[in-house]
Amino acid sequence: MPIATPKQYAAMLDAAQAGDYAYPAVNVTSIVTINAALKSFADSKSDGIIQVSTGGGQFASGLDVKDAAFGAIVLAEAAHRLAEKYNVLVALHTDHCQPGKAEEFLKPLIAETARRRKAGLNNLFNSHMLDASELPLDENMTISKEYLKLCAENEIILEVEAGVVGGEEDGAAGSASTPSEKLYTTPEDMVTVFESLEGLGRYMFAATFGNVHGSYKPGHVKLRPDILKNGQDAVAAKHGEKARFDLVFHGGSGSSLEEIRETLNYGVVKMNIDTDTQYAFTRPIADHIMKNYDGVLKVDDEVGDKKAYDPRSYLKKAEESMAKRLEDACDHLRSNGRTIFK
């Protein structure tokens, strides 16, 4: 199955919202990580989301090029071809893009989708994230409206964020010193987001409820999923039940299963997975190197072992490990066995 069409992606989100489940949205940087994601979704019989950050796109473009938009296009085109071999729906998304990078990252990607559509092809990306949370809310909504209109013209869904996700993840806003009150989006903010964007196009909303990017032990991150419920209720009370958001969960590493599952009841349809899959990918590589030290390296003028230092020998293990971690994510988010692909 090729990458989901705009209508199929909308149906995916509708199904998740109606069924109280969410899709893992996994960051990729290479063909190997794309294949890990596709394997996981197919093995789990789950639809899913593959996403590219500005840093991931820059990395994929090559050390001498360092062009985030170009690298994102390369990864997306690879995903379009690779996804044809699987019987689940997969959507393509771009992760955190701050306003200062949007002109050189989001606009070229939107333009590439427009070019493809004129040629009768599917959208390059199904959705993009504009992370203007570093700005005051009124300025955030002004630029979000601009990009939502651009996206809507090409049946692209925009993800926006209000509030700040703490920690650091590939250039995302926020830091370890972010004031705690900034980590929680207020009901008033959520009403403002709805009233600012209503009628301009379909969007997802990353409201913050104490989430922090990075890797932490369970209990370190103080999540308050009730923030999401209170905000959704405030919007519904003023504008009706249809006004409830499609919510996105960022910074979920270290969250308990109970906390993750609770957010599904409040409208979360997408949860970003990056830190955990990075570790799952790297862990077997480290194991391989340590167990095959004399084979991987040409120690004391020896010749080593080609089978040990062939990158395929450890990248296969990395792909398998990353896929297994994503299978756990599908289970945690209750998306396994629920593909809407027919």
Write the DSSP string, 300-334. GG----HHHHSHHHHHHHHHHHHHHHHHHHHHHTT
In this structure, is residue 288 part of a structural domain? no
Angle between the N-to-C axes of helices 31-44 and 68-82, in degrees from 0 to 180, rounded to the nearest 10: 40
In this structure, is residue 183 part of a structural domain? yes
In this structure, is residue 1 part of a structural domain? no
- Burial of residue 89 (CB within 10 Å: 0-12, 13-18, 19+) is buried
In this structure, is residue 209 part of a structural domain? yes
In this structure, is residue 296 part of a structural domain? no
In this structure, is residue 305 part of a structural domain? no
> Does the annotation mark 95 as catalytic?
yes
In this structure, is residue 341 part of a structural domain? no
More confident residue, 173 or 309: 309
Rounded CA separation 96/284 (Å): 28
Q: Residue 202 is which amino acid?
A: R
Rounded CA separation 321/326 (Å): 9
Q: What six digits make up the tokens of 214? A: 């990075």
Q: Kindly report, residue by residue over 239-291, the tens digit of the pLDDT.
A: 999 999 999 999 877 788 999 999 999 999 999 999 999 999 999 999 999 99
Domain that holds residue 238: 6-272+326-332
Question: What CATH number should be reported for the domain holding residue 66?
Answer: 3.20.20.70
Q: Count of domains in the chain?
A: 1
Residue 217 predicted with pLDDT over 80: no
In this structure, is residue 37 part of a structural domain? yes
Q: Kindly report, residue by residue over 19-58, the tens digit of the pLDDT.
A: 999 999 999 999 999 999 999 999 999 999 999 999 999 9
Percentage of the chain exceeding pLDDT 70: 91
Active-site residue, from 14, 20, 64, 95? 95
Backbone angles phi, psi at 94, to 5 degrees: -110, 140
